[in-house]
């Protein structure tokens, strides 16, 4: 980025994990944890601020007030422009922003949850809250970790070996496969990639999907999706076969009791954060 873009022309987002058990035992407060994690990220990035700082997952062991005050301190210090949240229920976001408003703290302006053509549970409540309150949806796994970019049967090293992504989609319903086939059918109809169809659909629902990329050409696929306009009939065709899904991944562990157990994200977490 230093070589290719002026800092004020790019938007940089990063996120922080909950307090570790060691920090809790050592009496590190939520505010101190946030200050420390942000300074580490800024040091790694070689920057003096980030545009969006994201509360990665609900931390049942740290008071919400401390999280919000900790984030607000960083906004006031100019190290963070806006704050976002990820992996939460709509009620948690509504509760947090109500407290922020009462205390005069910075509110969450975006939510990064799991949302794609194969996982649409966000449409129950979160989408409605975001629309009413002007909160940006910036979902992750926009391509179902690559499943919505490939025809059934086509695989990749990552699809086969990424245990976290497998956990999220293994035991996929037959209906999911039929949806993937419909994505492929529309891709053929328009002469575009499946990635473009999947992301063009998501762009009708959200502000900015977080599309993953492990190869340079993946970025082209994501960029092209912004120019593709699907018809209402296409959208209905893609949506028709969806059946409700159980929560998976980090959201399946969004409970006060599972917060203390081993978490799905811990396998990849930096040393000391487990």
Q: CB-wise, 32 or 239, nearer to ligand NAP? A: 239
* 30 near ligand NAP (CB under 6 A): no
Among 52, 142, 179, 184, binds ligand NAP (CB under 6 A): 142
Q: What x/- string results for residues 226 through 255 when contact with ligand NAP is judged by CB under 6 A? A: ------------------------x-----
Distance CA 9, CA 29 (A): 34
Stretch that binds ligand NAP, among 93-101, 141-149, 240-248, 254-262 (CB under 6 A): 141-149
Considering the complex, what minimum distance in angstroms separates the CB of residue 142 from ligand NAP?
5
Distance CA 14, CA 261 (A): 24
* 74 near ligand NAP (CB under 6 A): no
Among 146, 186, 197, 205, binds ligand NAP (CB under 6 A): 146
DSSP characters for 76-95?
Answer: HTTSEEEEEEES--HHHHHH
In the chain, what are the helix, strand and coil shares in percent, each to the nearest 5?
50, 10, 40
Q: List the structure tokens of 54.
A: 């994201």
| Contacts (CB under 6 A) with ligand NAP, residues 99-118 | 112
Chain mean position to CA 86: 6
* 193 near ligand NAP (CB under 6 A): yes
User: Which H or E element spans position 97?
Assistant: helix 90-103
Query: Is the separation of the CB atoms in 222 and 195 below 8 Å?
Result: yes
The number of beta carbons lying within 10 Å of the beta carbon of residue 223 is 12
Distance CA 32, CA 29 (A): 5
Considering the complex, what minimum distance in angstroms separates the CB of residue 73 from ligand NAP?
23
Stretch that binds ligand NAP, among 62-70, 97-105, 213-221, 230-238 (CB under 6 A): 213-221
Task: Give the sheet arrangement for strand 136-137, strand by strand.
Answer: 13-16, 50-55, 80-86, 108-112, 136-137
Among 159, 172, 235, 241, binds ligand NAP (CB under 6 A): 159
Among 144, 186, 197, 238, binds ligand NAP (CB under 6 A): 144
Where on the chain is the footprint of ligand NAP (CB under 6 A)?
86-87, 112, 140-146, 149, 156, 158-159, 165, 193, 195, 210-214, 218, 221, 250
């Amino acid at each position: 980025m230093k070589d290719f873009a002026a800092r004020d022309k790019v938007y940089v987002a990063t996120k922080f994990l909950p307090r570790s058990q060691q920090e809790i035992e050592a009496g590190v407060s939520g505010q101190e944890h946030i200050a420390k994690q942000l300074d580490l990220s800024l040091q790694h990035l070689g920057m003096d601020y980030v545009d969006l700082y994201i509360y990665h997952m609900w931390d049942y062991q740290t008071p919400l007030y401390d999280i919000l005050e900790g984030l607000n301190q960083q906004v006031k210090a100019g190290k963070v422009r806006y704050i976002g949240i990820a992996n939460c229920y709509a009620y948690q976001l509504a509760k947090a922003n109500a407290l922020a408003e009462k205390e005069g703290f910075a509110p969450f302006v975006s939510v990064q949850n799991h949302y794609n053509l194969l996982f649409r549970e966000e449409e129950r409540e979160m989408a409605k809250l975001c629309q009413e309150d002007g909160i940006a949806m910036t979902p992750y796994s926009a391509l179902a970790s690559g499943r919505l970019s490939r025809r059934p049967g086509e695989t990749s090293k990552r699809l086969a070996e990424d245990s976290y992504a497998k956990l999220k989609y293994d035991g996929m319903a037959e209906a999911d496969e039929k949806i993937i086939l419909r994505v492929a059918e529309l891709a053929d109809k328009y002469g575009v990639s499946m990635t473009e169809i999947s992301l063009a659909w998501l762009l009708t629902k959200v502000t900015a999907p977080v599309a993953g990329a492990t190869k340079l050409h993946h970025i082209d696929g994501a960029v092209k999706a912004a120019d593709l306009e699907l018809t209402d009939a296409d959208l209905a065709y893609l949506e028709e076969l969806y059946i409700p899904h159980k929560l998976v991944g980090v959201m399946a562990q969004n409970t006060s009791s599972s917060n203390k157990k081993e978490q799905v994200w811990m396998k990849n977490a930096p040393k000391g954060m487990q």
